[in-house]
Amino acid sequence: QVQLAESGGGSVQSGGSLRISCVASGYTDTSYCMAWFRQAPGKEREGVAYIDSDGTPNYADSVKGRFTISRDNAEHTLYLEMNSLKPEDTAMYSCATAEENYNKYGQIICDNYNYWGQGTQVTVSS
């Protein structure tokens, strides 16, 4: 059974940095996408970034240039390095995984996230 466990959240001042991690257990291979989502109080959950098994990252426009997603396939661990944090980055950050699919061009498609962690809180004060 797949389980995801996040860690590393906390409180920082605006402009600060944090790195959060997510360990995925229960996988026997690495052919899965990994992603970070966040949800602030009163707002809908939004995708922050995702990365496929080849290490190709994708980012939401709101975090491009500030956040870096990476993964260690040997350790089944996902990371999110967050720099230049803003108060609007305050949210519960959750990791999620999805089986990789391919489009007709042979490109990896990351969607249908079906495993989720409990989340780690990130709070940025002004």
pLDDT tens-digit readout, 55-92: 999 999 999 999 999 999 999 999 999 999 999 999 99
Per the rule left: phi > 0, alpha: psi between -120 and 50, beta: everything else, 8 is: left
**For strand 120-125 and strand 10-13, is the pairing parallel, antiparallel, or unpaired?**
parallel
Residue 74 is encoded by which pair of tokens? Answer: 């040997």
Q: What is the pLDDT of residue 55?
A: 93
- Strands of 1-126, DSSP E: 3-7, 10-13, 18-25, 32-39, 46-51, 57-59, 67-72, 77-82, 91-99, 101-102, 108-109, 115-116, 120-125
